[in-house]
Chains A and B, each alone.
Chain A
């Protein structure tokens, strides 16, 4: 198309310009109208998802689990305490810039809670939340130090932090070796996605290596090398570690597992973080990956009554975004459910205090801090034995939760350990890191009362 002719067609220049201007004007008006939609009554819960982009493989099941559990509550019980939940997804693509845009978009609609689902986005939101009075739930990710409620009253990382988990993994390795003292002289390698997330546990591993006497080395995998790790695993082969620990995400996980099988690494001694323990991570390597272990903190499968309800009220009615029925109940799906259980139980807790109505961010914050998810309560909501009980407190926003280890048997995950508590020495380290953050960023003392 030639723009000269375009503007000089038969109808005349004026008309065309008018069209053009009208187009621009309508575009601007539309953008302006973006705000102020969504006036429906209920508790507004934005869900940040990343069903596109390089991490979509992990983001799709977790996002679906999160949405489906909340939708099930809406369909089955009409919301929580009779108040419907308004669920809205905002696509971040695991991209911090889009995450910030999502946050700004949902901020004005009085959200009860924000679930960033990315450590990078979390780091940006942590300073903003006390100002905007919106709690942030970073379930098992984000900044470990945020577990210290006196410094981070608005951030929650139930059920556990990366540091707790890292110490529990070391403990597990210690058990495997027949006692913590046997870790002396052992060599542990750490392969991680080079990002804030992957670097998080390194200070803890280094601290523990001094104390327990194991040798520790790290192998960073830059995101762009995620799918090409042969050189990294060549280094592993050269170093001959006794154990490998992985903090991976997205396509890095299956690649690493495949590479490990290729160098004939003993899969029994390869332990992944709880984000490297999904079916999609181990399945590509198939039978060869048999023996690979990963941390986790919740049950999986379709046998839970609540999952049956999801199938009945959500999936069978075509309200789920899951395509394949058998994928409901997989590891990452159930992790999304876990996130939503925490949200739902916190809303219930808050409603007990503030009345059965739509609660705001401040009330939700109280709910999160006073959550009490006992075993009996879990059975009540249809998830018996789903996870270790979670009891919130003013000071501890991570519940210091224990983890367990699951193992890949070639086609599915099997639980191979009991609950492993984190080491006692983690908490002082978290407190020190929080104090450090507080000093560096001039965070004022907590003024929110503890009750």
Chain B
């Protein structure tokens, strides 16, 4: 049976290739998206007994807001718990490595020595931390490979972190990636005095392993009990509770976009199945006489069903195999465009789980693609319905084929509407006025180690570095700020402010607080709206001054001129800053987020060890970056610039998540559109083939080319119109889930629907025209003969 099927498919290679290619696309999309969903949402984390690792976090009982924990609270919890093992704190810290090659800025983790016990991981080489470890580091596997060339003799070697010598004691295994693949090295957490002291400073993340014999529920109950005791003891803990949750729940922030994309991939697979079912249906009609002969020779209905199922299964196996090969390439592509927001603890690979998913797809494909033609043809043949021998229509299975085409169109409409909405959202976000000029500008962050630089030493180095950069050829302006707009680097938080003459409402007024150098706004191209910019004379000895943005002025100046008002941060009696200028609003946190009040203070008046510099150049901005590195090397070889990027790139990266979702969904929808168009063409050409004689007779009876064109157009448009009607309704439902991902466009955006309907209108016209041309209506005798 299989050999006969293969032979008959080889005799119709066009159909076999179309079916296999169609299925390969559907299976590849589904398998790829399954691999992503599996890596992020389903696969256990790469730790031993990962389901027993919990994240401990504080929850505000009033707002429900989840926060990190403070060191003293967690220490009390660790001392009291009986259900948790190896309770450990961790905090990320960007750090400059030197001493074993060029200075490099990397991400590191400061961790409790017990954290490797909590995760159940042992170093690949060397050892884990001991309680008394101080100036030691454990390298991640990736960093060991990239910086040390996988040298096994690295253990015991020294490297300098922020100018302080540390000894490498271990290297972690390759599959341990926490919290993501970016972490280069781990240091033992030695709490600073202020970290030990304040219970209200919730600045650490915490993990632990549930002790043998205890359950997560018991651990959570115990943690809550201990926390409620601490809440009674310490005022900083009032309104705060602590809980322990499985680590998986804590790290995937929003699975909805991924699940939506997986759903979209499944729709493409179903569409591909419908397409193949349609092809097989057409083939079943074309080979009907063969089946009639088989039935006449004694084939039962089961025999005939088995014949069509075998055909579908052979195509499905070939399509799935091709799809899996294609998925391997697609996974590389997805890995390349993966946004930073997607967790990377599990590598994206085509493993046995993905192959199982592909096998499920295979069964699904065989069932969907095989059952329709098998049942239809067997019913027809078994009944020996030899009809219309002298008639001219007799289009068998036409209604079913049109239904399948309509279903394909409906699915494609749903995907296309969603994709157009997401792409338009992305374009709308891209068009948002950032408030600054991103052209010809490069940014780089410089962090000074606390131990070597503090106070006026920091100011002195930054000032010298600014002067050196200013003197580089091609540099038009240079400025620095603690947090650049739309950049993930830098200190960026809101502080309570007190403005002269402003009466706050229920909540104390807040503003995002940043330190800047003179010339920062000129370097960024942020226009001054009122007053003046910061000057080099606004130093530590000069009166305290501040610059605010338009939103600050509008909200807190309360109808007065903002310039000239005094503002203090944190408390009414704290230092007062006189507002000397107002600058234009910028999109600071996100292009699609709200603009918040901002206050900029001179870095000379509040020294800080980290600044991100912006250099405006008259030439290629990235060429300046290497000159900046050279100048810094001359100042201090242990310092390194990090996050070097043009402002164009920074703005583009800020919408990586959006772009990733839009690109993937656009790829799915274009594929769906093509499949639907191919399905429509297949259905129409088969239908016209069936109706060839009828059309010839109509022409013989006087039908003009226009009459025939109208007939062909009706044939093509009928299933499309039905599919559009169903698809538009489906899209209206599907877009409800997309609302959170939309920007500048509504779910019911009429233009989107017009574009989608027009696209299908164009497809109908193209397909109908091609079908009409193939009919060659000017030669009726040939049409009759062909028929």
Chain A bound to chain B: no
Q: Residues on A close to B: CB < 8 A? A: none
